[in-house]
């Protein structure tokens, strides 16, 4: 199974191929007792996140803020129409003032995707 920069390079190189082919070619496949091939998407995506610098916490539960209380992972629209993302969340992701994000709207969701710094692209 590929990991780290090898995994990132392989995924970049196979851009445009079906996901199943990418997962298989990166080695995230196992055989069941009856010989049927099983693609390990979860392990693949977890390895991809780690390769990109996102480290998943142990235990699979919700993260605990530094104050010791559990984060609810929910918010509400404020009276002025803004959505609040608290400091505990930005600290967990090591976000700094000035970090920029693309806002992607799903059917029932809002996703924030980090953008590369424009100054680095131009320089």
Q: Are strands 110-114 and 37-39 parallel, antiparallel or unpaired?
A: unpaired
CA trace torsion 50, 58, 41, 43 (10° rounding) = 70
Q: Read off the pLDDT of residues 107-122 as tens digits, 9 standing for 90 and up.
A: 888 888 888 755 454 4
CA trace torsion 27, 31, 36, 7 (10° rounding) = -10
Q: State if pTM tops 0.75.
A: no
Q: Read off the pLDDT of residues 49-74 as tens digits, 9 standing for 90 and up.
A: 888 887 665 544 455 555 556 777 78
d(CA 77, CA 89): 17
Instruction: Find the length of the chain.
Output: 123
11, pLDDT greater than 90: yes
Provide the CB-side half-sphere exposure for 20 (13 A, CA): 3
Burial of 42 (C-beta count, 10 Å sphere; 0-12/13-18/19+): exposed
Q: All domains of the chain, ordered by start, with CATH?
A: 4-51 (no CATH), 71-123 (2.10.260)
């Amino acid at each position: 199974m590929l990991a780290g920069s090898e995994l990132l390079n392989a995924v970049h190189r196979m851009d445009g191929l079906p996901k199943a082919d990418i997962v298989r070619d990166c080695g995230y496949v196992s055989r069941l007792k009856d010989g049927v091939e099983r693609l390990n998407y979860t392990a693949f995506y977890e390895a991809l996140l780690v390769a990109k610098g996102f480290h998943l916490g142990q235990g699979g539960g919700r993260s605990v803020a530094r104050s010791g209380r559990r984060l609810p992972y929910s918010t509400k629209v404020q009276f002025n129409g803004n959505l609040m993302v608290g400091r505990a969340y930005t600290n967990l992701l090591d976000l700094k003032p000035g970090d920029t994000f693309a806002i992607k709207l799903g059917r029932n969701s809002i996703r924030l995707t980090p953008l590369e710094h424009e100054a680095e692209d131009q320089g």
